[in-house]
Amino acid sequence: MCLTLLRLPPQPSARLLLRPIEWLPPPMLEALVARVAQHLLAEAIDDGSLDLLEGRILAIRITDPDLSIRLTLREGRLRGAEAGLAQVTISATCEDLLLLAAGHVDPDTLFFHRRLRLSGDTELGLAVKNVLDTIDLDAIPALPRRFLGQIADGAQSRRSPAGR
């Protein structure tokens, strides 16, 4: 019964669903994203795949809506970054990032189609991009994974020739 209330429209808009997030203060948004990323990237953090990020700042820029999330790795934990310039910035649309997060598209495809942009320290950026390839979607609890899948399905159908 409760799951029925969480049913989304057939093709929900990622941008519309992110609208409430735009109102969060940046430190709160960054703390939220850091906590989720810490869970999803726990194996990569533990095995040292993200050690290059230690004490450095990664900016994730969502171009629609215009949001910027700054993260750093400190003492083995992902955290919102404090003051300072980002060493690397990864930019994409909200829908492309959701397609990536849902496993509907891989980072290389987005990168080579110039839908995922990387600027700054390319070594750090490529290390982060490669870690994105290793995310185990089964680590996402069932309900949020289903929600993410529905959003990504809607985004993908809007991008396909049949959905245009």
Confidence of residue 19 (pLDDT cuts 50, 70, 90): low
Question: What pLDDT is attached to residue 164?
Answer: 41
Domain contains 4:
no
Task: Residue 40: name the closest of 145, 153, 149, 152 by CA.
Answer: 145
Domain count, the chain: 1
Instruction: Look up the domain containing 17 and give its range.
Output: 10-158
Top-confidence residue, 12 or 28: 28
Question: What pLDDT is attached to residue 119?
Answer: 92
Range 118-147 average pLDDT: 80
pLDDT tens digits, residue range 52-73?
899 999 999 988 878 888 999 9
Question: What pLDDT is attached to residue 82?
Answer: 77
> From CA 32, how far away is CA 124, in angstroms rounded?
22
Range 154-162 average pLDDT: 64
> From CA 62, how far away is CA 18, in angstroms rounded?
10
Domain contains 30:
yes
Give one DSSP letter per residue of 50-99, joined into a string: TGGGBT-EEEEEEETTEEEEEEEEETTEEEE--SS--SEEEEE-HHHHHH
Range 37-51 average pLDDT: 88
Domain contains 5:
no
Question: What pLDDT is attached to residue 13?
Answer: 58
Domain contains 1:
no
For the purposes of burial, counting CB atoms within 10 Å of the CB of 66, is it exposed (0-12), middle (13-18) or buried (19 or more)?
A: exposed
Domain contains 98:
yes
> From CA 121, how far away is CA 164, in angstroms rounded?
36
Range 32-42 average pLDDT: 86
> From CA 12, how far away is CA 146, in angstroms rounded?
13
Q: Is the pLDDT of residue 110 over 80?
A: yes
Domain contains 91:
yes
Range 142-158 average pLDDT: 72
For the purposes of burial, counting CB atoms within 10 Å of the CB of 92, is it exposed (0-12), middle (13-18) or buried (19 or more)?
A: buried
- Which amino acid is located at 150 in the chain? Q
CATH classification at residue 34:
3.30.1050.10
Task: Residue 139: name the closest of 13, 42, 25, 9 by CA.
Answer: 42
Domain contains 2:
no
Range 17-25 average pLDDT: 70
CB atoms closer than 10 angstroms to residue 111: 17
